[in-house]
Amino acid sequence: MAGQDTCPDANAGPPGDESSEEHYDEISAPEEEPIEGGEVVDLAEEKEWQERKYHAETASRLAWGVFWLLAVSGAIHYVATAYFSQADNPEAVQALSDFFGTWLPVISGFFGAAVTYYFTRGRR
């Protein structure tokens, strides 16, 4: 079988069927007019870097992020302490108390620094 095509044409119909080309034309997508998408402009000229706006947005996001971190960690500590107190597990309550006693000054320091920066950033 060397030299013979062993793979039949995917678009061919049964042997002796001359409508294989017509069948291919029926399933192809009709030609349509292109959709007008508008005008492409150079974005480098249109968009300018606004450093003050970027710093203000970043400072605000940092301050709110640290605030929510402090709030969520306090809520988790409260819920976990209440749960372990109800479960009569004083060892877990003491471990949570020790952990929160270490964690609270760290997160409070971050929050204080973020708030100070947020309110005094324009005074330089």
For residue 78, the model assigns a pLDDT of 92
Q: What is the pLDDT along the chain (124 residues), one digit of tens a residue?
A: 555 555 555 555 555 555 555 555 556 666 777 777 777 776 656 567 788 888 888 888 888 888 898 899 999 999 999 999 999 999 999 999 999 999 889 988 988 888 787 778 766 5
Cα distances (angstroms) measured from residue 4 to each of 9, 10, 20 = 13, 16, 21
Q: How far apart are CA 44 and CA 96, in angstroms?
A: 53
For residue 113, the model assigns a pLDDT of 86
